[in-house]
């Protein structure tokens, strides 16, 4: 064999390997579709419940004074809605498939939407990070206000004790 034909054969084998690898990754997505859909459904349900609880308690605790937190929570709920919509559009009628095997057509719908789902999930993680930072900020602000109030209370008590001792002397 000539060196040039050997090099061409090696290149052809490498190209074939890359194509088979790409095909195998698509097949893996297809095979894992039911598990992925179920996990995403559970995750979305848990996130939605946590966000709605946080929104409810933040509106009571902050008395509407912290709009940034409420906006961040609303943004996360919007992302959860986007992911729900992707599930619905990739799985014709989602409720029919809970706990049942996905058909081949629905698996392919999921595979086609998987990259978009990943993008929305990444955005959701960023939004959740914003909520965490806002909650931390509120917590630190609350601790500072509490510390200031305790110091003021201590000063008031000290002032009262001084007034009391002066009154006793009279």
| Alpha carbons 119 and 152: distance in angstroms, whole number | 50
The answer on pLDDT for 91 being more than 70 is: no
Supply the pLDDT for residue 21: 63
Residues making up the chain, counted from first to last: 170
CB atoms within 10 A of CB 48: 16
The answer on pLDDT for 112 being more than 70 is: yes
Q: Which of 123, 140, 134 is nearest to 69 (CA)?
A: 134
Average pLDDT over residues 94-98: 47
The answer on pLDDT for 45 being more than 50 is: yes
* Three-class HEC string of the chain: CCHHHHHHHHHHHHHHHHHHHHHHHHHHHHHHHHHHHHHHHHHHHHHHHHHHHHHHHHHHHCCCCCHHHHHHHHHHHHHHHHHHHHHHHHCCCHHHCCCCCCCHHHHHHHHHHHHHHHHHHHHHHHHHHHHHHHHHHHHHHHHHHHHHHHHHHHHHHHHHHHHHHHHHHC
Supply the pLDDT for residue 36: 79
> Angle at Cα 84 formed by Cα 82 and Cα 88, nearest 5°?
115
Average pLDDT over residues 83-102: 63
Average pLDDT over residues 47-59: 85
Cβ atoms of 54 and 72 closer than 8 Å: no
Q: Look over the chain and give the mean of its residue pLDDT values, rounded to a whole number.
A: 77
Supply the pLDDT for residue 80: 92
């Amino acid at each position: 064999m000539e060196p040039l034909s050997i090099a061409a054969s090696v290149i052809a084998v490498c190209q074939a390997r890359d194509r088979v690898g790409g095909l195998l990754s698509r097949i893996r997505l297809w095979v894992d579709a039911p598990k992925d859909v179920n996990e995403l459904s559970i995750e979305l349900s848990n996130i939605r419940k946590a966000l709605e609880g946080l929104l409810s308690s933040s509106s009571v605790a902050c008395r509407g004074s912290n709009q940034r937190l409420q906006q961040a929570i609303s943004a996360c709920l919007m992302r959860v809605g986007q992911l729900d919509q992707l599930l619905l559009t990739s799985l014709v009628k989602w409720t029919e498939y809970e706990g049942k095997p996905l058909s081949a057509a629905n698996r392919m719908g999921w595979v086609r939407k998987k990259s978009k789902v990943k993008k929305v999930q990444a955005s959701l993680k960023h939004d959740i990070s914003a909520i965490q930072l806002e909650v931390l900020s509120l917590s630190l602000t609350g601790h500072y206000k509490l510390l200031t109030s305790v110091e003021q209370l201590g000063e008031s008590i000290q002032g009262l004790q001084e007034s009391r001792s002066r009154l006793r002397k009279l």
